[in-house]
Amino acid sequence: MKKQGIYQTDLGIGNGWIHFGSKDGAPFSQLSFIDIGDMNNDCEKTEIDGTHMEITVMLNHMPSKIQIDMETEKGCFDVLSIGFHKDLELQLIGDTPDFKKHHIVVPEKNIQQLQAHQEYTNEPAENQLHFVLDDPDVLCYAKKHGIDVENHHDLTSCLAIMDRLCQVIQQDGVNYTHDKDNCGTIAQMEYAFAHNHRTNCRGIAMILAGILRAYGYRASAVECRPLAGDVHVVCEVYLENLHKWAMLDPTNNLVYYRETTPLSLMELREAMIEHAQLSCNENAGKNGEKADVMSLLAFMSNKLFYFVKAIDSCEDKTICNENAICLTSKDLICEDSEWKITTNNLEAYYQNY
């Protein structure tokens, strides 16, 4: 029976290393999410019975279980409170666990992959996107629930809108609890209110985009997709006074800056490739905890390969195959794309007019 080592496996929310062995004479394990550089998280409990190992780990404050049959190198991963289950195939990659203090790194492998996929063009393109703005029902509903700000059509106003939203609705920490069938900002908010004022990153991004459009901004929820693995959804909004797009992440009440310039998703991608020094807004954070820029950059470093948003951004449509445009590097464009339009043309995607 294996008494110690390192397993690598796909946990469904990213690739992980499971370090197991003993500490102070008792079974002990750590979990590293290697795709996002969240390394050496101490597990709450490690129990071994023959060839069976059961690990309890806290995932965004939710007890989660990893069960491993060390003889067959198979197992499962369960987030009990939300009913998430993933069967695991494990590979032993080391005989000695590398127990260390918890730390965050931006995986250099992710940066190298970004560098390897960056063939984009900026040629003139016909307008494809449609934004329905100033919806009075959405604006009234948002204000009724405390998202009522003095609007100067600038970044400060957008951040105020996002900040109010994050006080009313929070991201629930995972991406598996939200009903995608809810269409429209009001329906998304009602869903969150019915679930303890919580929703996933997709839900809160779609709510923010809808409220921003109701305030008169061109805004879209954007799926940030990795080469493989879990998606993160944010919002991009066009700032007329700056003549540029900016990414807002309502999961973390966040905007990134390079010096004093708020960044779009493509600009964030470029900044990460260049290892640029970045900062975020003062109020950035989640559930009362101040944002850690390093951990957020590590999280985003493998999610900047495909950007998918709605062609028609209005209340009766959402991001779906026939209503979606995908921006990606030329070498990643697939003829059998699931989206209506896949392009490496920045002008076609952003339409900076």
Q: Is the model's pLDDT at 16 over the cut of 50?
A: yes
What is the pLDDT at residue 157? 98
Predicted local confidence at residue 175, as pLDDT = 53
- The two tokens of residue 144 are 């009724």
Q: Tell me how far apart the alpha carbons of residues 266 and 274 are, in angstroms, rounded to a whole number.
A: 12
Whether residues 149 and 49 fall in one domain = no
Query: Range of 50's domain?
Result: 5-104
Q: Do 133 and 36 share a structural domain?
A: no
Same domain, 256 and 117: yes
Residues 117 and 98 grouped into a single domain: no
Give the rounded percent of residues in the chain with a pLDDT score beyond 70: 97
Q: Are 160 and 308 part of one and the same domain?
A: yes
Q: Which of 94-98, 173-177, 290-294 has the lowest mean pLDDT?
A: 173-177
Q: Does 152 lie in the same domain as 78?
A: no
Residue type, 300: M
Task: Among 104, 124, 158, identify where a domain stops.
Answer: 104
pLDDT value at position 228?
A: 84
175 and 270 part of one domain: yes
Question: Domain end: 56, 79, 104, which one?
Answer: 104
Q: Kindly tell me if the per-residue pLDDT of 319 is higher than 80.
A: yes
Whether pTM exceeds 0.85: yes
Task: Specify whether 306 is located in the same domain as 335.
Answer: yes
Kindly state whether residues 62 and 152 are assigned to the same domain: no
pLDDT band at 239 (very low <50, low <70, confident <90, very high): very high
Overall average pLDDT of the 74-100 stretch: 91
Assess whether 30 and 12 both reside in one domain. Answer: yes
Q: For 94-109, what is the mean pLDDT?
A: 94
Q: Mean pLDDT score of the chain, rounded to an integer?
A: 93
- Tell me, what's the pLDDT at 353? 46
Mark which of 104, 125, 151 sits at the end of a domain: 104
- 38 and 73: one domain? yes
Residue 1: which pLDDT band, with cuts at 50, 70 and 90?
low
pLDDT tens, position by position, 163-194: 999 999 998 766 555 666 779 999 999 999 99
- 80 and 155, same domain (yes or no): no
pLDDT above 90: residue 261: yes
Identify the pLDDT of residue 93. Answer: 94
Q: How high is the pLDDT of residue 65? A: 95
Number of domains in the chain: 2
